[in-house]
Amino acid sequence: MAENPGMPVRPSGRLLRAPEHFLSPAQIAEVTAGRRGFLRGAFAAALAGTGGVAAAQGTGDANILELPAHTKGLGQPVATHGYGQPSQYERNLQRRESPGLTRVSAASVSFAPLQGMFGIITPNGLHFERHHQGWWDIDPSKHRLMINGLVKNPLVFTMDDLMRLPSVSRMHFIECGANTGMEWGNVAVPTVQYTHGMLSCCEFTGVALSTLLDMAGYDKKAGKYILVEGADGSSMTRTVAMERALDDCMVAYAMNGEMLRPENGYPLRMVAPGIQGVSWVKWLRRIEVGDMPYGTKDETLHYVDLMPDGLHRQYTSIQECKSVITSPSGGQTLLDKGFHNITGLAWSGRGKIRRVDVSTDGGRNWRTAKLESPILSKCLTRFNFGWVWDGGPAILQSRAIDDTGYVQPKINQLRAVRGTRSIYHNNAIQSWRVAEGGEVSNVQVY
Amino acid sequence: MSRCIELASACLGATALCLTLAAPAAAQQSFPGIGRAATPAEIAAWDIDVRPDFKGLPKGSGTVARGQKVWDEKCASCHGTFGESNEVFPPIVGGTTAEDIQRGRVKALTEPVGRTTLMKLSSLSALWDYINRAMPWDRPKSLSTDEVYAVVAYILHLGDILPGDFVLSDATIRQAEQRLPNRNGKVKYEPLWNLKGKGDVTNVACMKDCPVGAILASYLPDYARDAHGNLALQTRAVGPTRGVDTSAPSLNAPPPPPTDPALALANRHSCMACHRMEGKHVGPAFKDVAARYAGKPDAAAVLAAKVKSGGAGNWGQIPMPPNTGLSDQDLAVLVKWILSGGS
């Protein structure tokens, strides 16, 4: 994996303790040996350009006392970038592949950096990707959607047609069925990006699928299923229950106020709320109404859950209730003891989040977190929980409950029924261990 | 559908009359001017799916021999000469037996081994449909119908499912499917298909003094610390946390699961083969032993002698063998540990 150049590791703010956060063991030995001159040198190097130490010295913070260039000069003009970009200081937040997970990047996954996200909406450029045969940027004037099968009127729509129809906009999460799949047997990856990053949430805009099915005159008696099919090389196909299709599925052309990104199916994708991501077929070209499930490759060979008795469960579509603390989380170091906001995401493919509880002692005692609005059906919900870290070891967990009353399970409860080789549908409680010194790591405790 | 299309085109001239005639299209009329009828040729061009009941399967046939030729030219570079390769994609062939073919269930799926395509395949339509729509990986939809039949036949031959002289066709495909090693290995799992289904695993929302295991069951080994690159460069450089610099050795590695030296000793001397701290096993629970000796001034000496000499009758008729090989030092540690109830 090519490492992105990234932001230098530089402390800022009140990072006054624990030099081990950015010094090497050899340098720490120097510090412990009392060679303060060395320490000053190391700090000077590490803090160049920041006011970390200055805050505690002299008459005040140099960042306040010495007016910076941006306060004393002229900034850049409007429309310098016709399409704005994140700050140069944000370049560490990238979607990334998990090394060794796949061999070819055109049939792979990139994980969304949940550790750095706020609220519930995923920025379009950080939405996770899963492609089976590479992605395309399709000319929308040439894209067509066909509806056929058990319908009175097989129809063809252009993008112009679809965008003229009444539109709906709704916020929904999308989660790959294999999200957290690497952790069924044991801890395998270090950060929330890799444990839970096949998860994103957008406001989607498109046409209610029920509108299109009505226009085609679908067979209300025999039409129990639909097949959705993509226009890319893989021509991905998945079966969706007609009941779900009529309820809240849509064919979407927009995400978060702009057209879909090519990597997310531009110009048209299926949105199947609550259902695993593979059914949200991208570059959607065709919907067929049928009277039986289609048993496609991704319903027969993949996205089937292996049980301990050797039987595979097929058509396991619903993403059950799940949550994860995104900060503090694995691979991070707490700056200092004292107050920290434990924050994370909760979601359920069956409806709304009713409650999230947080434990800081590995699941012995729990308190209820604050849910931020909006709390929407089949959508991410942000939770926050105030915590004063005493500097000692802790294990952070979150546990979500949805409006069906279902309580997110522990990994050992899942394993007791489904074994360790199911790959899909791991919605276990995630544990993050905070060590003395503040380093947070991925652990499994139950 | 052609009748509908004819009706629709015949109606273009006389709208008022046709609104009643073209009743099937009534729903479409709610959004006039949007969408149009698909032509039969258009539907044929895109409607290529083959269902588990083989609806949609085009007529055609292919031999194992022809399949080998196509395979060697177009498939083997990714999937290996025998479909066994794990270099680019998971292996296709392997892990199935003649017994599996008889039974229709693959035994190796209950074992901790990797899974091949043929171990999982339960309906032949899935393999045919997928190769037809998506293979070869870099040139999908370039195979002819007969080539698809041939390649499917060859894959099944590589898995010892079909004989070398088998001709796979729309007429014989059901016969071939009846030999799939895992044809009985799938179940449609309704609880995760239906929105209102109840899952098979749930938790209880205990809030206080909840039962938890005492140990870290799993954590990343130190050597895998930088397996995902330098995490310091994957985390925002401002805020309540920083990414851990995994280019440097860990300073906060989780400790190994706590091990009690006395328990390790008890394991080494095979005490734990017959005893548990709590609950009777072959021999009495150590906690029960501790309770019996509680308050006796010579407890340590008496118990030490019993451990060394063994015996029967005090706790039932199963005898405890003598432990003459125990050093006095180890014995003292073990006796103290047992009498303290494991603390």
Q: What is the pLDDT of residues A142-154, one digit of tens each?
A: 999 999 999 999 9
Banded model confidence at residue A57, pLDDT cuts 50, 70, 90? low
pLDDT at B187: 96
Please say whether the beta carbons of A237 and A229 come within 8 A: yes
Q: How far apart are the first and last CA of chain B?
A: 81
Q: How far is CA B290 from CA A331, B21, B32, B319, B334, in A?
A: 45, 94, 88, 19, 12
pLDDT at residue B313 is higher than 90: no
What pLDDT score does A37 carry?
44
pLDDT value for B257? 52
Residue A110 pLDDT > 90, yes or no?
yes
36-55 in chain B: CB under 8 A from chain A? 36-38, 42-43, 46-49, 51-53
Q: Amino acid letter at A70?
A: H
The count of residues in chain B is 343
pLDDT in tens, A13-42: 444 344 344 445 555 455 445 444 444 444
Q: Kindly indicate the confidence band of residue B318, based on its pLDDT and cuts at 50, 70 and 90.
A: confident
Q: Specify the amino acid at residue B221.
A: P
- Residue pair A156/A146 in contact by the 8 Å Cβ criterion: yes
On whether the CB atoms of residues B267 and B321 are closer than 8 A, the answer is no
Residue B320 to chain A, least CA–CA distance (Å): 35
User: Which of B79, B130, B241 would best serve as a mutation to test chain A binding (most A beta carbons within 10 A)?
Assistant: B241
What is the C-alpha separation between B247 and A292, in angstroms, rounded? Answer: 53
Residue B251, pLDDT > 80, answer no
Give the confidence band of B12 by pLDDT, cuts at 50, 70, 90.
Answer: very low
Residues above pLDDT 90, as percent of chain A: 85
Q: A352: helix, coil or strand?
A: coil
Whether B10 has a pLDDT exceeding 60, the answer reads: no
Q: What stretch(es) of chain A map to CATH 2.60.40.650?
A: 322-443
| Mean pLDDT, residues B163-187 taken together | 98
Number of separate helices (H) and strands (E) present in chain A = 10, 24
The distance from CA B44 to its chain's CA centroid, rounded to whole angstroms, is: 37
Residue type, A81: H
Place of tokens 């400790």: B255
pLDDT of residue A48: 43
CATH class of the B261-339 domain in this structure: mainly alpha
Using the predicted structure, report yes or no on whether residue B284 has a pLDDT greater than 90: no
In CATH terms, the fold of domain B61-177 is: Cytochrome Bc1 Complex; Chain D, domain 2 (1.10.760)
Query: Mean pLDDT over residues B157-163, rounded?
Result: 98
Decide the pairing of beta strands A284-290 and A144-149.
parallel
Closest by CA position to A354, among listed A321, A317, A318? A321
Per DSSP, A119 falls in state S
Q: Does the CB of B241 have a partner CB in chain A at under 8 Å?
A: yes
In A, which residues are within 8 Å of B248 by CB distance?
Answer: 24-25
pLDDT of A33 reads 54
- CA-based nearest distance B181→chain A, Å: 12
Provide the pLDDT for residue B126.
Answer: 98
**CATH number of the A114-313 domain:** 3.90.420.10
pLDDT on residue A157: 98
**Residue (of A298, A109, A285) closest to B130 by Cα position:** A298
Nearest partner of B184 among B279, B106, B131, judged by Cα: B106
Q: Do A99 and B210 touch (CB under 8 A)?
A: no
Beta-carbon count within 10 A of A202 CB: 26
Q: Phi and psi of A364, rounded to 5°?
A: -75, -50
Residue A54, SS3 per DSSP: helix
Share the mean pLDDT of chain B.
Answer: 87
Placement of tokens 């599996």 in the chain: B100
> Residue B50: which of B144, B166, B142, B173 has the closest Cα?
B173
Q: Is A46 helix (H, G, I), strand (E, B) or coil?
A: helix
Tell me the three state secondary structure of residue A417.
Answer: helix
Contact at CB, B234 and A96, closer than 8 angstroms: yes
Contact A437 B251 (CB under 8 A): yes
Give the model confidence (pLDDT) of B79-89 as tens digits: 999 999 988 99
Q: Is the ipTM of this complex over 0.90?
A: no
Return the higher-pLDDT residue of A259 and A7: A259
Residues of B with Cβ-Cβ distance to A296 under 8 angstroms: 49, 126, 129-130
Band of the pLDDT at B260, cuts 50, 70, 90? Answer: confident
For residues A261 and A258, give the distance between their C-alpha atoms in angstroms, rounded to a whole number. Answer: 8
Q: How far apart are CA A161 and CA A168, in angstroms?
A: 15
Answer whether B322's CB lies under 8 Å from B304's CB: no
User: Quick one: CA torsion of A89, A90, A95, A97, rounded to 10 degrees?
Assistant: 30
Query: What pLDDT band is residue A54 in, cutting at 50, 70 and 90?
Result: very low
- DSSP per residue over A66-94, as a string? S--HHHHS--PPTTSSSS----GGGTT--
Query: Looking up tokens 């994140």, which residue turns up?
Result: A86
Segment B186-200 mean pLDDT: 94
In chain B, the percentage of residues whose pLDDT exceeds 70 is 88
Question: What ranges do the domains of chain B cover?
Answer: 2-46, 61-177, 261-339
Contact B186 A311 (CB under 8 A): yes
pLDDT exceeds 70 at position B240: yes
Interface of B with A in 246-285 (CB under 8 A): 246, 248-252, 254
- Flag whether pLDDT at B258 surpasses 80: no
B34, B39, B100, B190: best to mutate for the A interface, most A CBs within 10 A: B34
Q: Residue B11 above 50 pLDDT?
A: no
Element (H, E) at A124: none
Tens of pLDDT, residue by residue over A179-204, are: 999 999 999 999 999 999 999 999 99
Write out pLDDT tens, residues A202-260.
999 999 999 999 999 999 999 999 999 999 999 999 999 999 999 999 999 999 999 99
The whole-angstrom separation of Cα B234 and Cα A92 is 5
Alpha carbon A295 to its chain's center: 28
| Secondary structure of chain B as H, E, C letters | CHHHHHHHHHCCCCHHHHHHHCHHHCHHHHCCCCCEECCHHHHHHHCCCCCCCCCCCCCCEEEHHHHHHHHHHHHHHHHCCCCCCCCCCCCCCCCCCHHHHHHCCCHHHHCCCCCCHHHHCCCHHHHHHHHHHHCCCCCCCCCCHHHHHHHHHHHHHHCCCCCCCCEEECCCHHHHHCCCCCCCCEEECHHHCCCCCCCCCCCCCCCCCCCCCCCCCEECCHHHCCCCCCHHHHCCCCCCEEECCCCCCCCCCCCCCCCCHHHHHHHHCCHHHCCCCCCCCCCCCHHHHHHHHCCCCCHHHHHHHHHHHCECCCCCCCCECCCCCCCHHHHHHHHHHHHCCCC
Mean pLDDT value of segment A418-445: 96
Report the C-alpha gap between A372 and A340 in whole angstroms: 17
- Least CB–CB distance from B24: residue in A98, A217, A288: A217
Q: Is A227 in Cβ contact with B36 (below 8 Å)?
A: no
Q: How many CA atoms lie within 13 A of A14 on its CB side?
A: 7
**DSSP secondary structure code for residue A96 in this structure:** B
For A349-408, the pLDDT digits (tens) are 999 999 999 999 999 999 999 999 999 999 999 999 999 999 999 999 999 999 999 999
Average of per-residue pLDDT across B52-81: 97
Q: Which two tokens stand for residue B320?
A: 């405890």
Residues of B in contact with A246 (CB under 8 A): none
Across chain A, what does the average pLDDT equal? 90
- Give the pLDDT score at A7: 56
For the domain spanning A322-443, the CATH number is 2.60.40.650
* Cβ-based burial of B102 (10 A; exposed 0-12, middle 13-18, buried ≥19): exposed
